Chains A and B, each alone.
Chain A
Amino acid sequence: MLIKNFWSHNARQLGTVIGLVGLVLIFWAWTPYFLTISNLLNIAQQTSINAIIAVGLTFVIITAGIDLSVGSIMAFAGVVMASLLQADQPIYIAIILGLLVGAASGLVNGLLISYGKLPPFISTLGMMSVARGAALLFTDGRPISGFSPEFRYIATGEILYIPVPVIIMIVVYLIAHFVLTRTKLGRYTYAIGGNEEASLLSGINVKMMKTIVYSLSGMLSGLAAVLLTARLNSAQPIAGIMYELDAIAAAVIGGTSLMGGEGKISGTLIGALIMGVLRNGLNLLGVSSFIQQIVIGSVIIVAVLVDMALKKGKN
């Protein structure tokens, strides 16, 4: 039984890895440039923002919730931070404030869901619009552009040939993996998503845990804002539209169940990489962006169909 469990658990992970490797091989066959170090690093860098947002969504989705507001929160946190940078505030102050704006927006989501008893879909749908509006209002609809090279280093810099955003992404994934697998917060995240009633009756502070998880998701959106603003050398109030869907897709392709209680941070990374490889490969092949959307949508659907088939086999 144990061995069977081991296989069914890892078959899921293996499936996504095989999918990723398969995609890489296909693109490599079509366009040899695809499998060069510089292009791979390029993919990793392009993936980093979606991958970081997807970490927050993985937590949220494991609790059987959803967060639709991440893209808007990212835009809002980005413009607040950019305005501080332009006002010649120290970079670290601006970044911390960006993260705080994100976390605070997430906190509001969490409070509305836990204490206001709103369905997560509604609360975060509302926040999606509120944060977007706040970003537009804050900048009067205009982008804030032009920052110091020190700040832009976050996007352009390299450490041992590895782009800084990729390093940040790896660090976030290592921490998130540790939190999910080795801490109380992580355990309670799975427990709440697996069975909220049983968790409550086991003495878990379900409301507080959910609030923390949504705050975390908001904070990671703030972090994504730092990377995006540095990369574009500009903070745009209309940035990040539809990012929530890409992040949800990454988590779901990676095996996180929308029903809650199941998911792995490593799966989300693979999911985000699959999205990134697809975009990059299709671009290299010169496939039109219209067709790209069709391909990506189909991949999401196929991934979840395969997931469901595997689970059915398990039971």
Chain B
Amino acid sequence: MKTILELKNIKKEYPGVVALDDVSFTLQKGEVHILLGENGAGKSTLVKILSGAVRKTNGKIILFDEEIEIKNPKHAFQIGIGIIYQELNLIPHLTVAENIFLGREFSINSGIIDNQKIIAEAQKLLDELKVRINPQALIKDLGIAQQQMVEVAKALSLNAKILIMDEPTSALTENEIEELFRIINKLKEQGVSIIYISHRLDELFQIGDTVTILRDGKLVATKLISETTHQELIKMMVNRELKDQFPRVKPSIESELLSVENLTTVNRLSNISFNLKAGEILGVFGLLGSGRTELARAIFGVDEILSGKIRINGESVVIKSPIEAINYGIALLTEDRKTQGLILELDLQKNVSLASLSQVSTYGILSDTKERELSEKYISDLNIKTTGPQQIVRNLSGGNQQKVVLSKWLSSKAKIYIFDEPTRGIDVGSKVEIYEIMNRLTKEGAGIIMISSDLPEILGMSDRIMVMHQGRITAELSGEEASQESIMHFALGENYAN
């Protein structure tokens, strides 16, 4: 085997965060190299460096025995690195052939596009892959699997020697996965090397040659697939010290606040049943595509519920919109603060009062004084670091933005809190502060559903843990019986436990 790409001691620092620390990685010609790790382990940062989307802070990249600096995505293509993202980058209303050669159209002398040639070349590429797709079909009429093949064809047309695939099977059916694997094997024969990112362990054993495990931005190990086991991989993915970062104080758990029975929705969720008690933090763990966020959206009245029952304080309710959810005392802290939680261009005070304007207004007329007092209360209560109520929230740090979102819901006097990834992108100090607020809320009798893909957080803060996989609940564990390994087993949909 011949080494075609070598990463030496790669380091990537973002302000305040080390995303990759001293990671080395070697890719052989014609191998499928799996990149494995939890969310936030550093896989995507590594991919971004290879694709030219970000620059490394330190370290060397050696491609074909030559040290290089990957300047930007276009440069990455030119040196033979192709990427197929999870979100496919195709233009729906153009044809397969037009997409493959987008930006590199063949032309007849004066700039008129040579459609015949584009179609013929596209056909040639598709034939090479032995896939039956009409090059003149519109992308929007193709299934996800076929679209992926188009991406592969596009990468090949760019003469890619290295192909990076980010969770390529997440949206595919069994048969489609078979087909993808056939293509991958074909690419291997042609000497293309593949960096393959996936959470699905079974798949890795089927398709991978080598696996590199990352954890918290550091390299754990590189192994031959034939020399490792499921158990060992899971252990390497999650094993880490649990420091005293989780100050969970368990209050007495009281009556039932919320119960959900056989909830099924249009998107993904099927037959979800669980309950939440006052004073409790219920952790919900699931990997990408497990339906964890969809669960939050269904309870909050955003996504349509097909069947199932929701009870609040024992009373059967139907929640059709966020307005109704808020009236029932539910609060949703969304996964993505910036696109779903905050109005970035408005100031702190206006964001805090957004869900409870009735409290600071009479006959629809707002009282600036009341509004300011409300926000000042939370600035001091939650220790928000800001220049004052009039600061535009765009200019706050991630942790402080999250506290503003929290203030919004605290002022709405909610009793049931759904936290979706409450500490993502937040520094350690603020994380602990957010956990303290959760403690306080539960002490005051609120119930919290904490959705997280951060295992230590789930273990450290939850009283009970629910694990989801592909829209179903695969396990419910008490805080005591749960371990990182057992949770990961259920999250991966493995049908055996520790």
Report B-chain residues with C-beta under 8 Å of the C-beta of A199: 343, 354
Stretch at the interface among A52-60, A180-188, A272-280: A180-188
Judged by a CB distance under 8 angstroms, whether B364 is at the interface is: yes
> Is the CB–CB distance between A202 and B344 below 8 Å?
no
> Is the CB–CB distance between A202 and B387 below 8 Å?
no
Judged by a CB distance under 8 angstroms, whether A190 is at the interface is: yes
> Is the CB–CB distance between B391 and A203 below 8 Å?
no
Q: State the CA gap A308–B252 with chains docked (Å).
A: 56
> Is the CB–CB distance between A201 and B366 below 8 Å?
no
Report A-chain residues with C-beta under 8 Å of the C-beta of B300: 201
Given A2-B388, A184-B366, are A202 and B361 neighbors across the interface (CB < 8 Å)?
Answer: no
The one of A2, A195, A202, A262 in contact with B322, judged by C-beta atoms closer than 8 angstroms, is A202
Judged by a CB distance under 8 angstroms, whether B323 is at the interface is: yes
Look across to chain A and name the residue whose beta carbon is closest to the beta carbon of B354.
A202
The one of A2, A182, A203 in contact with B365, judged by C-beta atoms closer than 8 angstroms, is A182
Look across to chain A and name the residue whose beta carbon is closest to the beta carbon of B343.
A194
Judged by a CB distance under 8 angstroms, whether B340 is at the interface is: yes
Report B-chain residues with C-beta under 8 Å of the C-beta of A195: 339-340, 342-344
> Is the CB–CB distance between A203 and B361 below 8 Å?
no
Hey, what's the 0/1 contact readout for A256-296 against B, CB within 8 Å counting as 1?
Answer: 00000110000000000000000000000000000000000
> Is the CB–CB distance between B366 and A182 below 8 Å?
yes
B390 to chain A, nearest CB (A): 6
Q: State the CA gap A204–B387 with chains docked (Å).
A: 27
Q: State the CA gap A140–B399 with chains docked (Å).
A: 65
Given A184-B364, A198-B340, A201-B300, are A1 and B345 neighbors across the interface (CB < 8 Å)?
Answer: no
Judged by a CB distance under 8 angstroms, whether B355 is at the interface is: yes
Judged by a CB distance under 8 angstroms, whether B332 is at the interface is: yes
A19 to chain B, nearest CB (A): 23
The one of A187, A201, A204, A262 in contact with B341, judged by C-beta atoms closer than 8 angstroms, is A201
Given A5-B391, A183-B366, are A201 and B322 neighbors across the interface (CB < 8 Å)?
Answer: yes
Given A1-B391, A1-B395, A183-B365, are A204 and B354 neighbors across the interface (CB < 8 Å)?
Answer: yes
Residues of B322-337 contacting chain A, CB below 8 A: 322-323, 325-327, 332, 334
Judged by a CB distance under 8 angstroms, whether B79 is at the interface is: no
Look across to chain B and name the residue whose beta carbon is closest to the beta carbon of A205.
B323
> Is the CB–CB distance between A197 and B340 below 8 Å?
yes
> Is the CB–CB distance between B344 and A203 below 8 Å?
no
Hey, what's the 0/1 contact readout for B295-316 against A, CB within 8 Å counting as 1?
Answer: 0000010100000000000000
Judged by a CB distance under 8 angstroms, whether B154 is at the interface is: no
Q: State the CA gap A2–B395 with chains docked (Å).
A: 10
Judged by a CB distance under 8 angstroms, whether B392 is at the interface is: yes
Judged by a CB distance under 8 angstroms, whether B131 is at the interface is: no
> Is the CB–CB distance between B408 and A202 below 8 Å?
yes
Judged by a CB distance under 8 angstroms, whether B350 is at the interface is: yes
> Is the CB–CB distance between A185 and B345 below 8 Å?
no
The one of A182, A191, A201, A205 in contact with B332, judged by C-beta atoms closer than 8 angstroms, is A201
Judged by a CB distance under 8 angstroms, whether B346 is at the interface is: yes
Judged by a CB distance under 8 angstroms, whether B7 is at the interface is: no
> Is the CB–CB distance between B364 and A201 below 8 Å?
no
Judged by a CB distance under 8 angstroms, whether A21 is at the interface is: no
Judged by a CB distance under 8 angstroms, whether B138 is at the interface is: no
Q: State the CA gap A137–B46 with chains docked (Å).
A: 67
Look across to chain B and name the residue whose beta carbon is closest to the beta carbon of A207.
B321
Q: State the CA gap A62–B3 with chains docked (Å).
A: 57
Report B-chain residues with C-beta under 8 Å of the C-beta of A184: 357-358, 361, 364, 366
Residues of B368-416 contacting chain A, CB below 8 A: 368, 387-388, 390-392, 395, 408, 412
Q: State the CA gap A203–B357 with chains docked (Å).
A: 10
B289 to chain A, nearest CB (A): 21
Report B-chain residues with C-beta under 8 Å of the C-beta of A162: none
Given A183-B364, A190-B346, A195-B343, are A201 and B391 neighbors across the interface (CB < 8 Å)?
Answer: no
A180 to chain B, nearest CB (A): 11
Interface range, B side: 35 or more
Report B-chain residues with C-beta under 8 Å of the C-beta of A183: 361, 364-366
Judged by a CB distance under 8 angstroms, whether A29 is at the interface is: no
Report B-chain residues with C-beta under 8 Å of the C-beta of A190: 343, 346, 350
Residues of A1-18 contacting chain B, CB below 8 A: 1-2, 5
Judged by a CB distance under 8 angstroms, whether A200 is at the interface is: yes
Look across to chain B and name the residue whose beta carbon is closest to the beta carbon of A185.
B364
The one of B302, B345, B357, B395 in contact with A201, judged by C-beta atoms closer than 8 angstroms, is B302
> Is the CB–CB distance between B354 and A191 below 8 Å?
yes
Q: State the CA gap A185–B363 with chains docked (Å).
A: 11
B272 to chain A, nearest CB (A): 20
Report A-chain residues with C-beta under 8 Å of the C-beta of B350: 187, 190-191
Q: State the CA gap A121–B303 with chains docked (Å).
A: 27
Report A-chain residues with C-beta under 8 Å of the C-beta of B361: 183-184
> Is the CB–CB distance between B343 and A2 below 8 Å?
no
> Is the CB–CB distance between A201 and B334 below 8 Å?
yes
A150 to chain B, nearest CB (A): 34
> Is the CB–CB distance between A202 and B339 below 8 Å?
no
> Is the CB–CB distance between A197 and B345 below 8 Å?
no
Report B-chain residues with C-beta under 8 Å of the C-beta of A185: 364
> Is the CB–CB distance between A2 and B387 below 8 Å?
yes
> Is the CB–CB distance between A5 and B341 below 8 Å?
no
B449 to chain A, nearest CB (A): 15
Q: State the CA gap A261–B393 with chains docked (Å).
A: 14
Given A185-B364, A195-B344, are A200 and B322 neighbors across the interface (CB < 8 Å)?
Answer: yes
Look across to chain B and name the residue whose beta carbon is closest to the beta carbon of A1.
B387
Residues of B239-272 contacting chain A, CB below 8 A: none
> Is the CB–CB distance between A203 and B340 below 8 Å?
no
Look across to chain A and name the residue whose beta carbon is closest to the beta carbon of B341.
A198
Most buried by B among A195, A203, A204: A203
B295 to chain A, nearest CB (A): 15
Report B-chain residues with C-beta under 8 Å of the C-beta of A191: 343, 346, 350, 354
> Is the CB–CB distance between A262 and B345 below 8 Å?
yes
> Is the CB–CB distance between B346 and A201 below 8 Å?
no
Hey, what's the 0/1 contact readout for A187-226 against B, CB within 8 Å counting as 1?
Answer: 1001100110111111111000000000000000000000
A sample of 18 inter-chain contacts (CB < 8 A) reads: A1-B395, A2-B388, A5-B395, A182-B366, A182-B368, A184-B361, A184-B364, A191-B354, A194-B344, A194-B345, A200-B322, A201-B322, A201-B340, A202-B355, A203-B322, A203-B325, A204-B323, A205-B323
Ranked 3 nearest A-B pairs via Cβ: A194-B343, A203-B326, A2-B387
Residue numbers of A with Cβ under 8 A of B are: 1-2, 5, 182-185, 187, 190-191, 194-195, 197-205, 261-262
